[in-house]
Structure 1
């Protein structure tokens, strides 16, 4: 599925009949002036398909890739775009579950398990981490005695910045990454349909095994398949009374035509919302400051062009080629600063404003207990 100018690089394959497919580009994906990172040009997004399963009914599978820059320990304003991604993704998943679909969500979320974006995804979307479910008794590693790179992969699900990956071997690691010999940034998450669609005979989707895959080098070459390893998850479909659900007649298949929205019994905490608002507000101020700097640079470039053009008759003729090149360079810089400062400046500030207002309203509703009173007991 394609998004942005270059495409988000998301694909979903299934052997079941596909009923629908869509892609949702995130409203914020870095800056167009950050050409090296390239997130804005590829248009990071959430792609999804809905397929018909003989026992589960409609299943929606998501594949996503979040904004990358900033890391786990980056400055506050660097976290904001990934928080926007997390909030928008969580809303998409929640809406899908509310119409009676099972959800499987995978991708590169570019955040470690205990970080705020993953809290938002787990709490607001109601998603369960398949790796956490299937690795319950894994001991916490010690920075002074870290696991081997192989154990880090098998025990902690490390998929990025592993010393065993040719693209990250020798890369300086952050404090937490050193503790785990890399990072777990890639996930397979899942959830049941919203409880309003549940009956006593609805089948249960449960993760029974997960492992990191594609850790070897490409055969015949000295490099890895990708800078991230893959994650494989195996699911079981259980009957409500226990055992495998093998026949559609033994269970109730959830329908997807219920008009009433369902509310989860658990939700994102007000503390998490407040923490997200701090980051988003910091990014809002940073974005406004950057826009002003870019527009000021545009004004200076215009003044420089006026100076070059007005003084060029007094320069010797052999200087003309250099003046021409300088004029082109300054004009290019002025144009770039104008569209980055004005067009992208507003492009970034407006979604930030919308999401800050959304979260403030949601926090106020949680604090007032309005959402709690609507939840089923």
Structure 2
């Protein structure tokens, strides 16, 4: 096998048990399709059922014998990585914020969205840290600031992990569903703070929205992987009408940060040679797509050695404007969280008072047939009070503390930028 390039693929499988439609047929088809590909690394998201992971593993193990399924939260992270290279390390970092436990419909809190990674030993590059992630889904970029705060915290934590990996002298490859379109703040945080390079931008430097006039061109020219009218699972939904979809899935990479190198030492360089959307067709024999996302694949070429000065010259700083916008969003979420927690604790207090009233009034029930209704109502009030206590006190403080940690980190970071600017001006 040639070791002058690394072929990678990322796919959100939409594999939640009992919820995802035609899951068994789709996972079987995904496993079959992947077994026919020649990628060196495959990262899957939303593959929550271990039996589904095992099915894919069995099909592709001949080419990709090494793999890791990552556990997180109550239902699992949904993340798995397959590779033909030896795995020498593995880790998973659950994000500090993943939505609310009371938001059962979204489900992010229960699955424990995370950043999973393995370190592979490449014959040319040496240690390479491969990340796979799926960021918090709920909340758009146009609504209230607090809607996107959790995804921003995810993005910041992910950027720190990728940056730290590079500072350890490792090449970094990052794959996944980032639930953010390119110009938004979460992607700016990831790209700027971690110094990551977007493979799609490198291989499609002249792409812009005006270059696509059809849904197919939006896929091939703009890299739309989600909400496409050509995907059977989104074609009939309102948000797909009049749009060409969203680019939510990415292949990112960067070179290592070498602190100490011998004079004149040269190191190989990763560079994206090709990046394209894959698995856009229907499942053979069916009229539905493989998933509600298309796959994204890229070829990263290992170029001939380059001076280490080129390797180290990677911008890894957020701008002051980005930091200020980031803090503003987290602060808005912090205030919203405090207000919501107070309301929930107020409901808890009212439930306690109501339970006391029910206990006192239970001795004066006029008819025996009221007893069952009385018991059911008491159970409901008890449940509501317990839920509000958990949501308002435990989760409320959890969310506020996590937000405050990041806000204070960003304040320190912004002061550091000011100090560096003044210091460089003195010289």
Give the TM-score taking structure 1 as reference length. 0.88
Partner of residue 87, structure 2: 18
Does 2:167 align with 1:98?
A: yes
Q: Which 10-residue stretch deviates more, 263-272 or 153-162?
A: 263-272
Rounded Cα–Cα distance in structure 1 between residues aligned with 2:414 and 2:71:
34
Partner of residue 124, structure 2: 55
Which of 182, 197, 215 in structure 2 is aligned with 1:128? 197
Rounded Cα–Cα distance in structure 1 between residues aligned with 2:292 and 2:72:
21
Which of 262, 267, 282 in structure 2 is aligned with 1:202? 267
Rounded Cα–Cα distance in structure 1 between residues aligned with 2:242 and 2:74:
36
Does 2:285 align with 1:223?
A: no
Which of 139, 160, 171 in structure 1 is aligned with 2:237? 171
Backbone CA RMSD of aligned residues: 2.2
C-alpha deviation, 1:141, in angstroms: 2.1
Rounded Cα–Cα distance in structure 2 between residues aligned with 1:110 and 1:121:
12
SS of alignment partner, residue 80 of structure 2: coil
Contact 2:267 2:306 in 1 (8 A): no
Q: Which 10-residue stretch deviates more, 102-111 or 210-219?
A: 210-219
Rounded Cα–Cα distance in structure 1 between residues aligned with 2:82 and 2:417:
39
Partner of residue 334, structure 1: 385
Deviations 1:43-80 (A, max 9, x none): 00000000100100100000000000012323210110
C-alpha deviation, 1:200, in angstroms: 4.0
Contact 1:365 1:371 in 2 (8 A): no
Note the 1:153-164 alignment, pairs <5 A: 153-164=219-230
Contact 1:366 1:372 in 2 (8 A): no
Which of 367, 375, 395 in structure 2 is aligned with 1:344? 395
Deviations 1:148-205 (A, max 9, x none): 111111110001111111221132339xx955x1100000000000143566420001
Rounded Cα–Cα distance in structure 2 between residues aligned with 1:225 and 1:341:
40
Give the TM-score taking structure 2 as reference length. 0.78
SS of alignment partner, residue 240 of structure 1: strand
Q: Which has the higher strand share?
A: 2
Contact 1:120 1:268 in 2 (8 A): yes
Structure 2: gaps spanning 5 or more residues: 1-69
SS of alignment partner, residue 187 of structure 2: helix
Distance 1:197 1:215, change over 3 A: farther
Q: Which 10-residue stretch deviates more, 57-66 or 158-167?
A: 158-167
C-alpha deviation, 1:91, in angstroms: 0.4
Count of aligned positions: 351
Note the 1:37-116 alignment, pairs <5 A: 37-116=106-185
